[in-house]
């Protein structure tokens, strides 16, 4: 394990450097916009590092209630967990494509996907308004 500064601190430092030192020195608007994007992406990754374990666990828990017929081993390590999330999402996608998910199960699937997207958006774009009646 690395000593401090840790990865979140470094990403925050990159973001701050780009915003406070690099961006003001650039007059060309397209390049300036790209620097803003780069600073923003560094912040997104910093936030993702904090949230990803919990978000993946939540998503997996919900996926397992939707896709119940796939055997899952106990005590998986992190790469195996991520692989499982992809596997269950692939399964869910195929079943939605085939029309095998309908009725109450479809409603439950939609609620799960909205929750998962809300969690993703809290990382990707914390300013995105997820209220159901936003307009």
51: enclosing H helix or E strand: helix 29-66
Among the candidate windows 4-12, 16-24, 50-58, 124-132, which touches another protein by CB under 8 A? 124-132
Residue 18 burial by Cβ neighbours in a 10 Å radius (0-12, 13-18, 19+): buried
Site track 83-112 with another protein (rule: CB under 8 A), x = hit = ---x--xx-xxx-xx-x------x--xx--
- Cβ contacts of 39-44, under 8 Å, gap ≥ 24: 39/14, 39/15, 40/15, 42/11, 42/12, 42/14, 42/15, 42/18, 43/11, 43/12, 43/15, 44/123, 44/124
Q: Residues binding another protein: what is the number (CB under 8 A)?
A: 38
Q: Return the residues of window 26-85 that contact another protein according to CB under 8 A.
A: 28-30, 33-34, 37-38, 40-41, 44
Task: Kindly state the smallest distance separating residue 79's Cβ from another protein, in Å.
Answer: 17
Residues that bind another protein (CB under 8 A): 28-30, 33-34, 37-38, 40-41, 44, 86, 89-90, 92-94, 96-97, 99, 106, 109-110, 113-114, 116-118, 120-121, 124-125, 128-130, 132-135
């Amino acid at each position: 394990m690395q000593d401090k500064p840790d990865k979140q601190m470094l990403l925050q430092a990159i973001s701050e450097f780009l915003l406070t030192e690099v961006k003001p020195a650039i007059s060309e608007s397209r390049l300036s916009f790209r620097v803003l994007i780069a600073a923003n992406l560094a912040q997104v990754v910093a936030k993702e590092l904090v949230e990803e374990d919990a978000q993946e666990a939540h998503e997996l828990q919900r996926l397992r209630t939707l896709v119940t017929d796939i055997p899952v081993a106990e005590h998986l390590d992190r790469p195996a967990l991520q692989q499982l999330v992809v596997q269950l999402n692939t399964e869910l996608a195929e079943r939605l494509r085939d029309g095998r998910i309908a009725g109450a199960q479809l409603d439950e699937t939609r609620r799960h996907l909205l929750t998962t997207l809300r969690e993703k958006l809290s990382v990707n774009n914390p300013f995105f308004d997820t209220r159901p009646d936003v307009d």
